[in-house]
Chain A
């Protein structure tokens, strides 16, 4: 099994020079920093829509690196070699999606407390927000892998990937923000968290299968 090697190399490549890892974090913080200026100095309003803004910023920031997820490997011949490996392509896709999550989503989650201050998020809601992001962003990475695989051989595929990925991401955003809103209004966040986890599990199965099928047809 070589999945560990694929995972580690992808994480390293994303954070090496030109890998785009740090750019995503700056983009995420920039988007959330703009919001208070756009909405004005209305602290209760910011606190109310803050979690939704964080989720949208997260969704957009995760789109940034998607275009290169499979395209870089497709162009330099690495993808062909990975298909000659003993490991099924479905698991290779899963390893690459996990690496994308580690390299792109995990730093964003780590930066979320900072963004939360800008949006006047209470510490209790910040914890709920972090939990919803940890549970929901793997689903976003897996959906993104499908979009990236479908567009693997296309030039300038970034916008196309966004169009493919965003509609599929809607349920994740609904239950992610829903969990935080439930916690804010002192209702139980349990059902939303359960559905968020279910979405991640469903996409953990469907995503790699669909992405691997798309990659096989890319030639």
Chain B
């Protein structure tokens, strides 16, 4: 059973201690909503888990996983990580090749774009996309490359109601397939999730049991 374990995490940013004593254990099939005031360290927390920031102390472990934990993780941050001159399909194909296999299945790429509602714009350069469409293109990465742990930083920022509902269904499907989701958010996540409040420093809520999926 896949488990993400975080123990006694301490992170400094610019000489200031942002996170201290954060502990969290998430078993597969569970989602955690990371909440807290602006500047509480939500983005820092997710970036540290992804291995992009080196913590001062503490431990982040994904068991049972061979090799670096980051290759089992997806990160959707504030920046979408898309190239504007490239079409939607080229963007997703690049990430499928970089994060996944060398020869991605074209059907899987189309399917991922279909799920986020961008199939009609598959040949359109991303520079003509609205903010919400660019966000959906970034989310298509999650579907194009299967990775068990999703680290999402305000995933639904800029999305309309229908897209939020669709992404809620995508998240529910990922959890049902044994995935793990950690999402920093100010809004309801759209799936049943435990809560980790970073404002109350040092407190941690462990998501131990399997969350039953209800209709979003």
**Chain A positions near chain B (C-beta within 8 angstroms):** 1-2, 4-6, 9, 13, 16-19, 75-78, 80-87, 216, 219
Complex alpha-carbon distance, A85 and B51, angstroms: 11
Q: Does B17 contact A (CB under 8 A)?
A: no
Instruction: Name 15 A/B residue pairs within 8 A (Cβ), A-sorted.
Output: A6-B98, A9-B83, A9-B86, A13-B85, A17-B85, A76-B79, A76-B81, A76-B83, A77-B77, A77-B81, A80-B47, A80-B52, A82-B98, A84-B74, A84-B99
Pick the contact of A219: B52, B70, B85 (CB < 8 A).
B52
- Quick check: B97 and A2 within 8 Å, CB to CB? yes
Complex alpha-carbon distance, A77 and B50, angstroms: 13
10 cross-chain pairs, A with B, having the tightest CB-CB distances, nearest first = A77-B79, A77-B81, A5-B97, A2-B98, A81-B81, A16-B85, A2-B97, A85-B98, A78-B81, A86-B71
Which one of A13, A19, A84, A87 has the greatest number of beta carbons of chain B within 10 Å?
A84
Give the contacts of B36-54 with A (CB-CB under 8 A): 47, 50-54
Nearest residue, chain B, Cβ from A75: B79
A9-B94, A13-B85, A17-B85 given; A85·B79 CB < 8 A: no
Number of interface residues of B (CB under 8 A): 27
Complex alpha-carbon distance, A126 and B79, angstroms: 47
Provide the residues of chain B in CB contact with A86, threshold 8 Å.
Answer: 71, 99
Complex alpha-carbon distance, A80 and B80, angstroms: 10
Q: How far is the CB of A163 from chain B (nearest CB, A)?
A: 25
**Chain B positions near chain A (C-beta within 8 angstroms):** 47, 50-54, 70-71, 73-75, 77-83, 85-86, 94-95, 97-99, 102, 141
Q: How far is the CB of B95 from chain A (nearest CB, A)?
A: 7
- Quick check: A80 and B79 within 8 Å, CB to CB? yes
- Quick check: A84 and B79 within 8 Å, CB to CB? no
Nearest residue, chain B, Cβ from A72: B83
Q: How far is the CB of B137 from chain A (nearest CB, A)?
A: 12
Nearest residue, chain A, Cβ from B90: A9
Q: How far is the CB of B185 from chain A (nearest CB, A)?
A: 18
- Quick check: B97 and A81 within 8 Å, CB to CB? no
- Quick check: B71 and A84 within 8 Å, CB to CB? yes
Pick the contact of A85: B53, B85, B99 (CB < 8 A).
B99
Provide the residues of chain B in CB contact with A13, threshold 8 Å.
Answer: 83, 85-86
- Quick check: B102 and A2 within 8 Å, CB to CB? yes
- Quick check: A81 and B95 within 8 Å, CB to CB? yes
Does more than half of chain B's interface fall in helix, strand or loop, or is it mixed? loop
Complex alpha-carbon distance, A6 and B102, angstroms: 11
Provide the residues of chain B in CB contact with A80, threshold 8 Å.
Answer: 47, 50, 52, 75, 77, 79, 81
- Quick check: A81 and B47 within 8 Å, CB to CB? no
A83-B70, A84-B71 given; A77·B52 CB < 8 A: no
Complex alpha-carbon distance, A104 and B62, angstroms: 42
Nearest residue, chain B, Cβ from A216: B54
Complex alpha-carbon distance, A16 and B85, angstroms: 8
Complex alpha-carbon distance, A24 and B126, angstroms: 26
Provide the residues of chain B in CB contact with A87, threshold 8 Å.
Answer: 98
Nearest residue, chain B, Cβ from A5: B97
Complex alpha-carbon distance, A83 and B70, angstroms: 8
Provide the residues of chain B in CB contact with A18, threshold 8 Å.
Answer: 85
Provide the residues of chain B in CB contact with A78, threshold 8 Å.
Answer: 81, 83
Which one of B77, B80, B97 has the greatest number of beta carbons of chain A within 10 Å?
B97
Complex alpha-carbon distance, A78 and B54, angstroms: 19
A80-B52, A84-B73 given; A5·B81 CB < 8 A: no
Nearest residue, chain B, Cβ from A19: B85
Q: How far is the CB of B144 from chain A (nearest CB, A)?
A: 12
Provide the residues of chain A in CB contact with B75, threshold 8 Å.
Answer: 80-81, 84
Complex alpha-carbon distance, A82 and B80, angstroms: 13
Complex alpha-carbon distance, A9 and B75, angstroms: 21
Nearest residue, chain B, Cβ from A79: B81
- Quick check: A84 and B70 within 8 Å, CB to CB? yes
